[in-house]
Amino acid sequence: TVKDEVGHLENYSNLMKKRYEGQLQVTIDADPALYQKELPKFTLQPLFENSIKYGFYEADQLLLIEVHIKPLPGGWYILIEDSGSGITPDKVREIYRQFSHCDKRLKANDEVINMKIGNLSLSNLYIRMRILYGEGFSFQIGNRPQGGCRIYIEIPDSPNEKKES
């Protein structure tokens, strides 16, 4: 559940704050009304880890990471933003190509367990969410205007309901 994932993320973020003493500031803001919503295990932690892994770009930098889980009309969203170095357009294109490849394999009922996956944690998460929510969820990754990376996942209350763009 969201509650489980938030609990794991709070524990993990506390460890990382100790490891990066004074260089990591974390905000986790989850609406308790969403605590019973289903989420695949290890959804939040790998996204958070990516913010740390790719976000630091200077030795004395303060990295801010914000995690928001909030309701929307007809659904809810997960937003993870960091103040780090951002993501290159080529990397974004590569990630979306990988998601498209995952979709094709899933639609063809191809085995996804043994497929070679680039961007392993993102693709793994994308596949698990696609299986759980069908085509109803959306996954967006890019840069924030003020710098840093932004991941936005929108999930409908009805799992197979397509989101309108």
- pLDDT in single tens digits along all 165 residues of the chain: 999 999 999 999 999 999 998 899 999 999 999 999 999 889 999 999 999 988 877 667 899 999 999 999 999 999 999 999 899 999 999 999 988 888 887 777 755 554 445 456 788 888 888 888 888 899 999 999 998 999 999 999 876 544 454
Closest CA to 9 of 56, 55, 46: 46
Which DSSP string do the residues of 32-96 spell out, in sequence order?
Answer: GGGTTS---TTSHHHHHHHHHHHH--STTPPEEEEEEEEEETTEEEEEEEESSS---HHHHHHHH
pTM of the model: 0.86
Q: Are 99 and 139 in contact (CB under 8 A)?
A: yes
